[in-house]
């Protein structure tokens, strides 16, 4: 949209407030609200000033003056605030509207520009699937003398014997929540409300359903888009889902593993490349109808996966989901059907239009702008270096990994077992991210510093389970 078109929309809809949104380096959303009465073409073209030193991973206090420049193509009505409010994403800029290299959205834009500069493809398409948990109530505390969390979920199997509230007995049995119907799936109506709200905000919703875990694990899938647009949608999706849940008296978390002994939440990343309107990942007759270029792309993803996980699985909690023996995609192989593989090629979508690959390891604590850009850079490095995933020992693996012999399992490479391992891998392997100036050394140093703070916060605190294991030794 042009500035004049935005101003006309403000008048037509009686908009009272303009709200701009962006995410910090870790991926948490922030916003600024300005009365519509003070918005003119100059503001829309020149941006809004803010203090970058107060945002994690951005500037120090000595160089804190920064600018939020609206992206007018992302304008949408925000239904969750008082008064008719128009919201949009912004790019974070330095004074003079100079590019700011640590702005996650600018990283996504640079990744798309780099892709075009290679001549390999015009566009990359991304269809992230973000799973989440919806609880009735959550309490937690960490202090020098206490540490605990407590989750309440009316549909959880462990509450079947409770008598302090009305209890219908309809509970989601352990690991049996997938696609369950009402009355077991008592969150259907809330997901529908979320889906309808997302549709009003421009999403094409393809389906929603209950997921595997017992206590309110859900998924709502939306239509794929180009890289930056898909990252915008992933960030807005989390915003909408959390706020609709709040309106129903529920709370949502995108933590990968909030519950012990239950499936964790992933962010499966469907992706493909296209040029001149043609899907470059499709070649009839190849393995799962994949082209040689797609295989090289897979080779790049799996080769760099240990380093990628520091960005795509960036929380200490991420590695409580990535545990061998569950359905978690810990095996660095590709497959046309095996959901324990890090990369799955959907066998039911293998036409010239729909062929794609699905990187199943990422989770929704990831900053989507950085996560999608990093995966693209790994895949492009695989194409550039012609990394053959079969020759490199990455499959294809169409057998059930859990039924392989110990000797056969030992041959399969696995993802890092902790955030610390992933960060060390990123330190050793990140040149592929620097190509074309997409990521910078400065950004990666800031990212690694943030992650090492989080690692230290976990490693230096006693955990409740340690009291159970060691208190009476």
Phi, psi of 35 (to 5 degrees): -55, 135
CA of residue 36 relative to chain centroid, distance: 32
Domains, the chain, ranges and CATH?
A: 3-97 (3.10.20.70), 123-470 (3.30.590.10)
Active-site residues, by number, are 51, 129, 131, 211, 219, 268, 339, 358, 360
Give yes or no for a contact between 326 and 319, defined as CB atoms under 8 angstroms apart.
no
- Whole-number Cα distances in Å, 266 to 82, 134, 427: 33, 15, 24
Other C-beta atoms lying within 10 Å of the C-beta of residue 163: 6
Residue owning tokens 């909030």? 258
Position 61 pLDDT exceeds 80 = no
Confidence of residue 38 (pLDDT cuts 50, 70, 90): very high
CA distances from 119 to 114, 123, 270, 397 (A): 9, 10, 22, 31
Nearest alpha carbon to residue 441 among 102, 32, 86:
102
* Per-residue pLDDT, 164: 75
Mean pLDDT of 279-286: 94
Q: What is the mean pLDDT of the chain?
A: 94
pLDDT tens profile 302-351: 999 999 999 999 999 999 999 887 668 899 999 997 778 999 999 776 78
- Using DSSP, state whether 127 is helix, strand or coil: strand
**225 pLDDT more than 80:** yes
Cβ–Cβ under 8 Å, residues 329 and 340: yes
**Dist CA 116 CA 110 (whole Å):** 10
**pLDDT digit string, tens, across residues 428-462:** 999 999 999 999 999 999 999 999 999 999 999 99
Stretch 361-368: mean pLDDT, rounded?
98
Q: Which residues of 169-205 are buried (b: 16+ CB within 10 A; e: fewer)?
A: eebbeeeebeebeeebbbbbebbeebbebbeebebeb
Phi and psi dihedrals of 74, rounded to 5? -110, 15
SS3 at position 394: coil
Identify the pLDDT of residue 400: 76
> pLDDT tens-digit profile of 120-170?
999 999 999 999 999 999 999 999 999 999 999 999 989 888 877 778 888
In the predicted structure, residue 62 carries a pLDDT above the cut 70: no
**Residue 367 tokens, joined:** 């900053």
- What whole-number percentage of the chain has pLDDT above 70? 99
């Amino acid at each position: 949209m042009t500035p004049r078109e935005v101003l006309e929309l403000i008048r037509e809809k009686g908009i009272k407030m303009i709200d701009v949104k962006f995410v910090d380096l870790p991926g948490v959303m922030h916003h600024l609200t300005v009365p519509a009465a003070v918005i003119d073409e100059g503001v829309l073209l020149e941006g809004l000033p803010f203090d970058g030193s107060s945002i994690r991973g951005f500037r120090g206090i000595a160089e804190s003056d920064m600018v939020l420049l609206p992206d007018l193509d992302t304008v949408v009505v925000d239904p969750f605030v008082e008064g008719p409010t128009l919201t949009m994403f912004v790019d974070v800029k330095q004074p003079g509207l100079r590019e700011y290299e640590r702005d996650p959205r600018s990283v996504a834009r640079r990744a798309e520009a780099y892709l075009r500069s290679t001549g390999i493809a015009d566009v990359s398409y991304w269809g992230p699937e973000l799973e989440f948990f919806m609880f009735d109530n959550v309490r937690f505390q960490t202090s020098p003398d206490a540490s605990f969390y407590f989750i309440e979920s009316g549909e959880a199997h462990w509450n079947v014997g409770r008598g302090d509230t009305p209890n219908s007995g309809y509970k989601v049995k352990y690991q049996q929540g997938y696609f369950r119907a009402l009355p077991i799936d008592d969150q259907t109506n809330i997901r529908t409300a979320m889906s309808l709200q997302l549709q009003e905000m421009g999403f094409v919703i393809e389906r929603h359903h209950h997921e595997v875990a017992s206590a309110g694990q859900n998924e709502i899938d939306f239509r794929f888009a180009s890289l930056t647009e898909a990252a915008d949608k992933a960030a807005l999706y989390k915003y909408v889902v959390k706020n609709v849940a709040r309106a129903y008296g529920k709370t949502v978390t995108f933590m990968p593993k909030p519950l012990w002994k239950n499936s964790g939440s992933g962010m499966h990343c469907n992706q493909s490349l296209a040029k001149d309107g043609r899907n470059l990942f499709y070649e009839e007759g190849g393995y799962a109808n994949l082209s040689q270029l797609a295989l090289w792309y897979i080779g790049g993803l799996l080769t760099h996966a240990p380093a990628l996980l520091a960005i795509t699985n960036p929380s200490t909690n991420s590695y409580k989901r990535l545990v061998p023996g569950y359905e978690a995609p810990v095996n660095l192989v590709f497959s046309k059907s095996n959901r324990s593989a890090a990369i799955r090629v959907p066998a039911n979508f293998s036409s010239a239009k729909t062929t794609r690959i699905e990187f199943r390891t990422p989770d929704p604590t990831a900053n989507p702008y950085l996560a999608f850009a990093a995966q693209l850079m790994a895949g492009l490095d695989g194409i550039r270096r012609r990394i053959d995933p079969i020759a490199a020992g990455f499959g294809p693996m169409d057998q059930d990994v859990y039924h392989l012999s110990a000797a056969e399992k030992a041959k399969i490479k696995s993802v890092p077992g902790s955030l610390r391992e992933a960060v060390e891998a990123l330190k050793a392997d990140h040149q592929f991210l620097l190509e074309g100036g997409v990521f910078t050394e400065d950004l990666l140093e800031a990212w690694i510093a943030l992650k090492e703070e989080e690692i230290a916060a976990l490693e230096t605190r006693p955990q409740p389970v340690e009291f159970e294991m060691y208190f009476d030794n």
